Amino acid sequence: MPPTPDKEIAATFKLLLIGDSGTGKSSLLLRFTDDTWLHPDEVSATIGVDFKVKVVDIDESKYKLTIWDTAGQERFRTLTSSYYRGAQGVILVYDVSSRATFEHLNLWFNELDTYSSSQEVIKMIVGNKVDKESSGSREVSRKEGEAFARKMGTLFIEASAKTKTGVKDAFIEVVRKIIETPSLWQKQQNKTPGTIHMNDDEAPQGGCAC
């Protein structure tokens, strides 16, 4: 079989979505380019997306992204190092209408520090579900979110997978930061891409980790 004609692809990046369950990570992954927002009941009635491959154009270059969802494993705390391995960008999601999910970000940062293969990995905190503001159920202010992100030295954005606000921006901003940090990816890209990615990304395949 001939090689994939992807010469115009400048680099391939692995992005992860982490955070408590119910914060809307799966919707963010669907919403990246999708026009239909699914009601939570609909989401749970479907087989979720494990990961997506997406080609994005940034400053006239093409980048291939693989964006991974935690597959609900966060409920059982069984995310393993294979999920984190090789990731250049991590999006930490909390729900602005649930203070607990915001406070748990500390645990997610600990896990990230434990398993991440590089200290330079680009992190972004996403305060999701800002569409709930109108119903008065916000529990974490934008200011608090921003202050925490500053303290952790990460990017920050508020988003709504429901109204599409900020979702694409969040992904693109992370990718831009990765591009600006060549030490994070240039070494890896020079190796045989096929081999290394297969091992990295296919590891979490398959059934229950219980």
Site residues for other proteins per CB under 8 A: 1-2, 4-6, 12, 30, 33-36, 38, 42-43, 45-55, 64, 66, 71, 193-194, 197-198, 201-202, 205-207
Residue closer to other proteins (CB basis): 49 or 147: 49
Residue closer to other proteins (CB basis): 142 or 164: 164
Residue 184 burial class via C-beta count within 10 angstroms: exposed 0-12, middle 13-18, buried 19 and up = buried
Residue closer to other proteins (CB basis): 15 or 125: 15
Query: C-beta of 70: minimal distance to other proteins in Å?
Result: 10
CB within 8 A of 53, min separation 6: which ones? 64, 65, 66
Residue closer to other proteins (CB basis): 99 or 168: 168
Cβ neighbours of 122 (radius 10 Å) = 24
Task: Tell me which DSSP letter residue 117 carries.
Answer: S
Rg for the chain (alpha carbons), in Å? 17
Query: C-beta of 64: minimal distance to other proteins in Å?
Result: 7
Quick one: CA dihedral 170, 172, 173, 177, positive or negative?
Answer: positive
Residue closer to other proteins (CB basis): 71 or 184: 71
Query: C-beta of 23: minimal distance to other proteins in Å?
Result: 17
Query: C-beta of 151: minimal distance to other proteins in Å?
Result: 34
- Label the pairing between strands 89-95 and 122-128: parallel
Query: C-beta of 200: minimal distance to other proteins in Å?
Result: 11
CA distances from 111 to 56, 90, 117 (A): 29, 12, 12
